Amino acid sequence: MTATKTPHAKPPVADNVLRGPGLSRPDAVARPSRAEAEEAVRTLIRWAGDDPAREGLVGTPDRVVRSYEEFFAGYGIDPVEILSRTFEETDGYDEMVVLRDIRVESYCEHHMVPIIGKAHVAYLPRRRVVGISKLARLVEAYGKRLQIQEKMTAQIANTIDEVLQPEGVAVVVEAQHQCMTTRGVHKTGVTMVTSRMLGAFRTDPSTRREFLTMIGNPSSRGME
């Protein structure tokens, strides 16, 4: 296969709100220093009612900040760049490409607690395909941020549509939100399902049905 750098052309879309530079590349913010971040953790520990200087907590600010570097690594990744290396020599392959059960680890932007689940991603190639690991990395790039599930689902789909310009894109995300299971209504076992269908997946019921069948039982998700 011959690898090609895909031009970042942006075809017209109806959903302009979820497009544009802010979709893939968050506006730069003035980041505090590591010392300031650690001090903020100490403040929260004191607010919770404990002593950040006691033996069990003295190293916690450093560990929390290092954990946050992993949790929110997506801010340092350009999702468009992930998909920029594509392949055009596909021997005429024009059927659906589906990646199921991609683990999603994200964080609720309202409460900063985990959102854990899985994503199913598909596209219908027009001319180019991308390495399958890139789709998983794209999910991770958007997941490792403060998010709401609806926006994350749209961002994943819109970026694939923007960069690969396929015949269609489909993304389904199923996840449990700890802001609902460990606080507030305390409802465990509840799964939120979001979907974004573009192109053929939106306009052709048979294409959409094929995708939903491939990722599991569509009737159980109420999306058929």
Residues involved in catalysis: 108-111, 149, 177, 179
Is residue 111 a known part of a binding site?
yes
Distance CA 215, CA 218 (A): 8
- At 150 the three-state DSSP class reads helix
Q: Residue 179 annotated as binding?
A: yes
Please work out, in degrees rounded to the nearest 5, the angle formed at the alpha carbon of residue 38 by the alpha carbons of 34 and 41.
Answer: 145
Helix (H) or strand (E) holding 175: strand 168-177
| Total Cβ atoms within 10 A of residue 158 | 23
Q: What is the residue type of 170?
A: A
Cβ neighbours around 141 below 10 Å, total? 23
Annotated binding site: 108, 111, 179
Annotated binding site for Zn(2+): 108, 111, 179
